[in-house]
Amino acid sequence: MKNAAEAHPQLDKLPRHVAIIMDGNNRWAKAKKLPGVAGHKAGVDSVRAVIEVALRQGIQALTLFAFSSENWKRPPEEVSHLMELFKWVLKRETKRLNKYQVRLRIVGDRSAFSDDLQELMAKAEAATADNQRMTLIIAANYGGRWDLLQATRQLASAAVEGKKDPAKLTEEDLSQALALSDFPDPDLCIRTSGEQRLSNFLLWQLAYAELVFAEEHWPDFRQDAFYATLVDYSRRQRRFGGRTETSGDA
């Protein structure tokens, strides 16, 4: 049997930052005649698997869309289970993140979460703050429109206070006011479970990202599946709206 290094050899062309929309937990559970929460729990193992490959390949940042601002519309029982699972993961996984020198960042509007969950978030971030091997970013109660709105409010306040000239605002000014301002924009965005839309995720930051829509439900998206998307990315030619001399493309 091949070991991990043999099965997943080092790639030369890698994304610095990968963003993933972890979709299909409920569909996975339904297919197995299990309660929905079982799919979310199984999805935690996929998170570990993806982090393992990302670390081995040397990816700098990994952003996971864990809970969108629209997910509050789900049945109250499911939301309650998700909040308890979030607490369980924060308590259990912080030690593992430190072991592998992974820094945790959580982005989104935390005000809607319970006080004890907000406290766990802050503690986990503080406990991993000095780790430098990779940054794991969890988007929780996050929405791309919320992100753009809060950034716009920051810039509007600065303009009112005379700190910014509205006529001279640049794309960089807006980028620096967004939730992921201290990270490069994602080079690669993956969505699992066959759906082909962004669902209000990192709307500004994904403008030039390469997109991969994987058929696997998130609980089935493990090491081999993630590595395959990295291989796909390594073969793509990124133009950022331009063209190459040999392509002939518009």
Catalytic residues: 23, 71
DSSP secondary structure code for residue 107 in this structure:
E
> How would you classify residue 46: left for phi > 0, otherwise alpha for psi between -120 and 50, otherwise beta?
alpha
**69-75: long-range contacts, CB 8 A cutoff, minimum separation 24:** 69/108, 69/109, 69/141, 69/142, 69/143, 69/146, 69/200, 70/143, 70/199, 70/200, 72/112, 72/141
164: Cβ contacts below 8 Å, ≥ 6 apart: 155, 158, 173
Using an 8 Å Cβ cutoff, are 11 and 187 in contact? no
**Minimal CA–CA distance to 104: which of 151, 150, 51?**
51
